[in-house]
Structure 1
Amino acid sequence: MATASGSSLPSGCAVFITVPDAFFFPEFVFGGLVWILVASTRVFLDNPQGWVMFVSVFCFFFTTLLFLLYVSGVNQKSSAWPTLDAAYHALAAFFYLSASVALANVTVRLQNDAVNFKSYQEDIAAVVMSYVATLFYALHAVFSAIRWKSS
């Protein structure tokens, strides 16, 4: 079994208990919530929520794929996996940060629109979930970079 400071990546059930790989679960949850909340709101013409949807779907899909590859043990066959892990999570953190800022901007613009109050409330929840997802992806990226550096 690999540890957070070990040079090898975990596989199988060890993915659930090692840092940073234990962050996969909250990344699924909060990324999925962003996806659901943004998909349920009304999209306006000048609204950048398309970028937010792209980021949430892209990251959800590739995080799921990476997680399944880790659980199946495919990551044990090459020494490039720690680099891929750190690079992917850094990119995902950057994408989520940009999506969070764009979504917060949209939410601020909806603040005084009484007609779209439900969309405003859903956008507030989506902004919070997006920043939480950003935090988990950033933590995963930092701990993956530490693991990559030590390998």
Structure 2
Amino acid sequence: MAATTAQSMGTLPSGVEICTTAPDIFYLPELVFGGLVWILVASTHVNPQNPLGWVMFVSVFCFVMTFLWMIIFAAGGHKSSSGWAAADFVYHFLAVLFYLSAGVDLAYITFQNKAGDSKIYKIDISAVVFAFAATFLYFIHALLSAIRWKHF
């Protein structure tokens, strides 16, 4: 019989397994794309403050929480309980809602500022693209987390 690295859907991974199992393989791309949104928005003048402040909050909050979530999973702090599987789904679903609202706000502000500085406009467009890419990654993670939670 051949050895397999597949994991049953009724358990939560720990250690290096989070880099090889779905949905946990999405932690690193979520951090990269969310960090890029954070960096790109912060590199321009945050004007108007209200919608772009929300974008900054979402990107920083999701970056920090995803990093902590990844550390907890890597350290095995979840003890493979169904409560953690449910919390994983809830967190990633909320991150989808947050990033979707932040991406729409950012796209609207970027569209309004298209007549301004070309360099800042291009940076804002990049931030919009990365915000929606992060939204998509969090959506896939939430979907796969819901499936895993269902099989617990």
Contact kept? 2:14, 2:76, Cα under 8 Å = yes
Task: Report the CA distance between 1:43 and its aligned residue.
Answer: 1.8
Alignment-derived partner of residue 13 in structure 2 = 10
Task: Report the CA distance between 1:99 and its aligned residue.
Answer: 0.3
Task: Report the CA distance between 1:6 and its aligned residue.
Answer: 1.5
TM-score norm. by structure 2 comes to: 0.93
Task: Report the CA distance between 1:142 and its aligned residue.
Answer: 0.2
CA distance in 1, matches of 2:49, 2:25: 37
CA distance in 2, matches of 1:2, 1:96: 31
CA distance in 2, matches of 1:69, 1:25: 14
Contact kept? 1:2, 1:14, Cα under 8 Å = no
User: How many pairs does the alignment contain?
Assistant: 148
Unaligned runs of at least 5 residues, structure 1: none
Task: Report the CA distance between 1:45 and its aligned residue.
Answer: 3.5
Contact kept? 1:2, 1:8, Cα under 8 Å = no
Contact kept? 2:103, 2:132, Cα under 8 Å = yes
* Percent identity between the two aligned chains: 52
CA distance in 2, matches of 1:87, 1:12: 22
1:50 maps to 2:53? yes
CA distance in 1, matches of 2:142, 2:49: 32
Contact kept? 1:2, 1:9, Cα under 8 Å = no
1:92 maps to 2:95? yes
Alignment-derived partner of residue 146 in structure 2 = 145
CA distance in 2, matches of 1:42, 1:119: 9
Alignment-derived partner of residue 131 in structure 1 = 132
User: Which of 69, 73, 76 is the aligned partner of 2:76?
Assistant: 73
Contact kept? 2:92, 2:139, Cα under 8 Å = yes
Unaligned runs of at least 5 residues, structure 2: none
Tell me the secondary structure at the aligned position of residue 78 of structure 2. Answer: helix
User: Which of 19, 24, 33 is the aligned partner of 1:21?
Assistant: 24
**Match of 2:118, as an amino acid?**
F
**Match of 2:123, as an amino acid?**
E
CA distance in 2, matches of 1:126, 1:77: 36
CA distance in 2, matches of 1:60, 1:77: 23
TM-score norm. by structure 1 comes to: 0.93
